[in-house]
Amino acid sequence: MAKFGIQLPNFSGFESGDLFEHVAGLATTAEESGFDSVWVMDHFFQLPPLGGPNEPMLEAYTLLGALAARTHRVQLGTLVTGVTYRNPGILAKIVTTLDIISRGRAILGIGGAWYDVEHQGLGIEYPSDGVRLDMLEEAVQVCRAMFTGDDVSFEGNHYRLDHARNLPRPVQTDGPKIMIGGGGEKRTLRLVALYADMCNVTGDAGTLAHKIEVLHRHCAEVGRDPAEIAITWMTPLILTTSDQNTAEMREILAAAGSAQEIAGFTVGQPREIPDLVAAHIDAGADEVIFSLAFADKAGIAAVGAACGLSGMPTP
């Protein structure tokens, strides 16, 4: 049976003093509604589709630590951390701390980073795609070593650790699971096969099936059982109130982006959501993650109920 998660990407419309309570309310509603995971983006500037740098954005790991103290059951992670933003030894310490605060619910989502405007604005080096993927490969090795060992030395082209310590240890026995985000077929999916516990992809059901096929080929080449890797599919979800509203929203999307750009969107009324994502589950998605840019508590609860999640209050 597929799992379901919620991503919270939008922080507009609230005064600073009220914003966290709003976000925490969405996260606790997701938990009470039966969702398995809650995710946030790892960005410092808001993304262009949601208004760009003029709109508010909260730092991911500070926010996740606070949500860990407000929730009890849902897994918590970034979708996904940009490899360029933090030294991986420090990142491993941050995610370990999240695992401790949450009593074993942290996931390390990580990818090659892409938002060049953000890098330029903050003075963060933005190397070529190939170099960022090289950094990603070293970073996941460092984080895995830090999660599973306590005296870690590492010598790479981009990172170096000299008897690094990570105390206290993560709550999870082998440390937080590592998710690599992205569907690059030559490098990214091969890194998933080599190092990751989870893989996040986007797109329509055909694209998802193709990416899984490519991943399985990489697994065969490196001697990895593909069943060890959970597949998550993230979809921007736009909830509508009627058939007419659904048609209008689809027209707006079609005018705003190419068919490829909007292929992975889910648009419909809450009762329609299970049918709208069924093809992706059939294609191999182990978890569907709804990115709710305009989420409210009622919408989250309605989607959870429509998907048949066992919503219940948590202590």
- 95, pLDDT greater than 60: yes
Q: What angle do CA 243, 247, 253 make, to 5 degrees?
A: 140
C-alpha dist (Å) from residue 302 to 26, 62, 273, 294: 13, 28, 10, 14
Q: Residue 295 has what pLDDT?
A: 77
- 312 falls in which pLDDT band (50, 70, 90)? low
Share above pLDDT 70 across residues of the chain, in percent, rounded to a whole number:
98
pLDDT digits 0-9 by tens, 146-177: 999 989 999 999 999 999 999 999 999 999 99
Which H or E element spans position 157? Answer: none
- 262 falls in which pLDDT band (50, 70, 90)? confident
297-302: average pLDDT: 95
Averaged pLDDT score across all residues of the chain: 95
Q: Residue 310 has what pLDDT?
A: 73
Q: Which residues make Cβ contacts (< 8 Å) with residue 226, sequence separation at least 6?
A: 193, 215, 216, 219
Q: Residue 314 has what pLDDT?
A: 52
Q: Residue 311 has what pLDDT?
A: 65
d(CA 155, CA 208): 35
Long-range contacts of 242-251 (CB under 8 A, 24+ apart): 242/269, 243/269, 246/272
- 259, pLDDT greater than 90: no
CB 197 within 8 A of CB 179: yes
Helix 205-222 vs helix 188-195: crossing angle, to nearest 10: 50
**Secondary-structure class of domain 3-306 per CATH:** alpha beta
pLDDT digits 0-9 by tens, 219-256: 999 999 999 999 999 999 999 999 999 999 999 988 88
Question: pTM of the entire structure?
Answer: 0.95
